[in-house]
Amino acid sequence: MNERRPGHRPRGGRPSDPSRAAGVPDDGVDVANADANVFVADEQDDVAVDSVRWAQLARRCLGAERVRGDVMLSMLFVAEDVMADLNHQFLGKHGPTDVLSFPIDEEVTERGRQPDNGGRGPGDSSPSPTAPEIVGDLVLCPAYAARQAEDNGRALDDELALLVVHGVLHLCGYDHVEDDEAEEMEHREQELLDRFWRGDAVVPGG
């Protein structure tokens, strides 16, 4: 079976926030986090990628998981050789995979007047700008996903939507090492896909 759920945490595990766990009801309205900065970089030429569409889906999933406020997530689409390198470097596995999730665990709160801490210098009483919380990075391989979609008998966009949702949930603390964790995560994936993807819930980015 192809590995599509690495759930790797190269910088240590992010503890799950109970308010973001599965089973917490959404607001009943559009839960997109308007303040979430989702940066998308398409660094491959194999498959056309609608960056706006996938950023919107990720933003809505963050909102549904109650990751609110000024947060940052990056999404990188790469070729198979790049993904294979990352898969080997971080998971010790050979060949490409479909998605890798890299949560960022360090608190971005350190302030001061030391040069290395971005201090504003003595005598400057103006408040320092608050840095956004960095949720983490998603790396996706569209060419691999295209083959996987064909094998699974579904459209490529549906496959990519699943991978985006799956990757965001990893960044929010979900995992699937144990059977009960996998069941919980898969259930939440389907909830989010039903709400934000199926039935044209996420419109193309144009």
Q: What pLDDT, on the 0 to 100 scale, is given for residue 129?
A: 57
Q: What pLDDT, on the 0 to 100 scale, is given for residue 55?
A: 95
Domains defined along the chain, listed by start: 34-106+132-196 (3.40.390.30)
Give a three-class secondary structure readout of the chain.
CCCCCCCCCCCCCCCCCHHHCCCCCCCCCCCCCCCCEEEEEECCCCCCCCHHHHHHHHHHHHHHCCCCCCEEEEEEECCHHHHHHHHHHHHCCCCCCCEEEEECCCCCCCCCCCHHHCCCCCCCCCCCCCCCEEEEEEEECHHHHHHHHHHHCCCHHHHHHHHHHHHHHHHCCCCCCCHHHHHHHHHHHHHHHHHHCCCCCCCCCC
Q: What pLDDT, on the 0 to 100 scale, is given for residue 19?
A: 33
Q: What pLDDT, on the 0 to 100 scale, is given for residue 41?
A: 96
pLDDT tens, position by position, for the chain (206 residues)?
234 444 443 333 333 333 333 333 344 444 555 568 899 999 999 999 999 999 999 999 999 998 877 889 999 999 999 999 999 999 999 999 999 999 985 443 333 333 443 444 444 555 545 666 889 999 999 999 999 999 989 999 999 999 999 999 999 999 888 899 999 999 999 999 999 998 544 433 33
Q: What pLDDT, on the 0 to 100 scale, is given for residue 189?
A: 94
Q: What pLDDT, on the 0 to 100 scale, is given for residue 133?
A: 83
